[in-house]
Amino acid sequence: MFFLKKLKLSLLLTFGLLLSAMFGAAQSLPIVIDSQFDDWTAESAEFEDAAGDGPNIDLLRFAVANDENFLFLRLELANEVLLTENNSLTLYLDTDNNVLTGKALNGIGAELEINFGDRSGRFYYGNSSYTVSLSNVKFHHQPTLSSEVFEMAIGRNVNLIGNIPLFPGNTVRILFRDGTNDQMPNAGQTFSYQFDNTPTPPVELISLEKENPQHVRLLAWNVLSDGLDDPDRAIHFRRVIDVLDPDIITFNECWDMTAGQAATFMNVAIPLGNFQSWKAVKLDQGNITVSRYPILQSWNFFPGHRLTASLIDLPDAVFSKNLLVINGHLRCCSSGNYNRQLEADAFAAFILDAKTPGGLIDLPEGTPFVLSGDLNLVGWRQQLTTLLTGQIVNTGTFGQGGPLDWDDTDLQDIISRQTDQRMAYTWRNDGSSYPPSRIDYHICSNSVMEVEKAFTLQTEIMTAQRLSQYGLQQFDTRSASDHFPKVTDFSFSGLTAGTEVRENRAALKISPNPNAGVFSAMFEWQESGQTVFSICHPNGSVIRQWNEKRHAGPQTIDIDASYLPSGVYILKIKTGKQTEQVKFIKT
């Protein structure tokens, strides 16, 4: 009898110290781990902590949801932190809902411990604990850079140390703690969540084809240490590139490859026919830009860094303007924060220069542009802020900064979900302590260009039927690189020559073209007005400019530009707010 009383007292001490227990109403939700939080609806279970009680990191609240494959958590803090670097944040999960098993703390028995700051984990089972990696528990999180809000996923159907299920039951208790400082829930409280096994809607599969042949497809792909030149990996690159059929590609990590070799690679992967060849440029250490269209001019605008801009000559029959593509591979890793900010500042200064007369580059107003590549944004959020807003940090070197898009708004960060799952990471290496990350970007001037389709391709998670449909193999992307190909299809609102409606004039035409510098320009004004004529370099800088009063009706003007060297030029005419331009070739 004494023994039974003592056992009963021990259990009461174990459970009785808890002042309250909270239960999260289960909700199955189709959460996408993509740095966007609009899919976290009011139906998710939530816990809110008191503000101001954390001397280091102040924990504010968390939300919980699930689908068939993952437990989802959204964590909100009062401080901006980098989740996977230099912090003492820890997540504890009592996965069997039993206080007597696992690591005992704050009224729970945690089977899983995830230490975010050093990207490590412990699994407690029986009387032992085992080291587990983040990849072992299928951990995903976004954003990859610093933030006050994070969303994360942990695999539900995971077995550890042999065949031990991580989640043996249907209820889990959750505790966040910042070292020995703030914790959530606080002492004397626990939070339990019961999985909702209601099926979520099937993931919407993204087709790999263009929706319209007149869309321009841009592909960004870090090829991992000269992967295009590795015979064992080249076959995987070719198969994927052939299926994706891009118009322009920004390759990163082409350390020892030349532009000519990259063009040859593309001529094999996607032959253009009619004796045409892919065009390629390499001006920095490891970036190569290839295009099926002519590359008019290129700039390595921050020498010593991997930033090369190229003006792409889009077909005149379809597009009234060219496209500026900036191939970027910013400095790697958390230790590269300082240099990465310099590179972001340099990009902002280059775009502001391109929008204004003088300097290194002058773009015709409204020329679409896009930054493409492995931007390595794994550090402080300010770097992305600079790339989107033009807010320069190193003003003494790069100027005061300013809005980057043509309408003085922010640029668009194109977040591309994977084709076959609700994840948006673009890099994955299960042998690394770092979890899958979104570090490959497309950032565009969305005031003059529109995103028609965007996706990231990971063949490893595609079904056999989908792979067969596209002639791909399961491990094509993983065998090629640890980065996944990122694709965006663009249309150009108001810039498509074949469909643009012009209320005050017909399209500008010149004849003959090509010519020896002497030609006629034909156009039609609906109203009389002062007209500005300009002959420009392809980069937009003005060679000659003059004004004439032109009357309404059909117009023909003879132009003598025989003084120009052979090359490609632009004739631009402007009246009021309307501008028309056309390229011509001086032979």
Q: Are residues 116 and 230 in the same domain?
A: no
Per residue, the 3-state secondary structure of 234-271, as one string, reads HHHHHHHHHHHCCCEEEEECCCCCCHHHHHHHHHHHCC
Report the CATH number that the domain containing residue 170 is assigned in CATH. 2.60.40
Instruction: Flag whether 12 is in a domain.
Output: no
What the block records as the tokens of 256 is 């020892």
- Residue 510 and residue 475 share a domain: no
Query: Do 25 and 66 belong to one domain?
Result: yes
Using CA atoms, how far residue 7 sits from 1, 10, 13, 121, 459, in Å, is 10, 5, 10, 33, 56
Q: Are residues 278 and 190 in the same domain?
A: no
| pLDDT for the residue 396 | 97
Query: Is residue 303, in this structure, part of any structural domain at all?
Result: yes
What is residue 552's predicted lDDT score, i.e. its pLDDT? 74
The reported pTM is: 0.82
What's the CATH number where 375 sits? 3.60.10.10
Helix (H), strand (E) at residue 470: helix 464-470
Shared domain for 439 and 519, answered yes or no, is: no
Three-state DSSP at 24 gives strand
Residue 140 lies in a domain: yes
Q: For residue 334, is it within any domain? A: yes
DSSP 269-327: HS---TT---EEE--SSS-EEEESS-EEEEE--STTSSEEEEEE---TTTBSS-EEEEE
Same domain, 175 and 42: yes
Smallest CA-to-CA distance from 346 within 330, 362, 366 is with 330
| Domain end among 159, 194, 229 | 194
Report if residue 558 sits inside a domain.
Answer: yes
How many domains are there within the chain? 3
Could you tell me if 275 and 154 lie in one domain? no
Place of tokens 């909700």: 27
Please return the burial class of 337, using the count of CB atoms within 10 Å of its CB with bins 0-12, 13-18 and 19+: middle
Residue finishing a domain among 149, 164, 194: 194
Residues 484 and 512 in one domain: no
CATH number at residue 528: 2.60.40.1930
Listed residues 430, 464, 491: the one ending a domain = 491
Pair (487, 510) in one structural domain: no
In a domain, 497, yes or no: no
Same domain, 103 and 251: no
CA distance 533 to 365: 15
> Is residue 294 situated within a structural domain?
yes
Tell me, what DSSP letter sits at residue 380?
Answer: -
In a domain, 568, yes or no: yes
Same domain? For 114 and 163 the reply is: yes
Q: What is the pLDDT along the chain (587 residues), one digit of tens a residue?
A: 333 333 333 333 344 444 466 776 668 999 999 999 999 988 899 999 999 998 899 999 999 999 999 999 999 999 999 999 999 999 999 999 999 999 999 999 999 999 999 999 999 999 999 999 999 999 999 999 999 999 999 999 999 998 999 999 999 999 999 998 999 999 999 999 999 999 999 999 999 999 999 999 999 999 999 999 999 999 999 999 999 999 999 999 999 999 999 999 999 999 998 889 999 999 999 999 999 999 999 999 999 999 999 999 999 888 889 999 999 999 998 789 999 999 999 999 999 999 999 999 999 999 999 999 999 999 999 999 999 999 999 999 999 999 999 999 999 999 999 999 999 999 999 999 999 999 999 999 999 999 999 999 999 999 999 999 999 999 999 999 999 999 999 999 665 544 333 333 335 778 887 788 898 888 776 667 778 888 887 656 678 888 887 777 788 888 998 888 877 778 888 776 566 777 777 77
Domain containing 223 equals 216-491
From the CB of residue 196, how many other CB atoms can be counted at a distance below 10 Å? 18
Same structural domain, 108 and 226: no
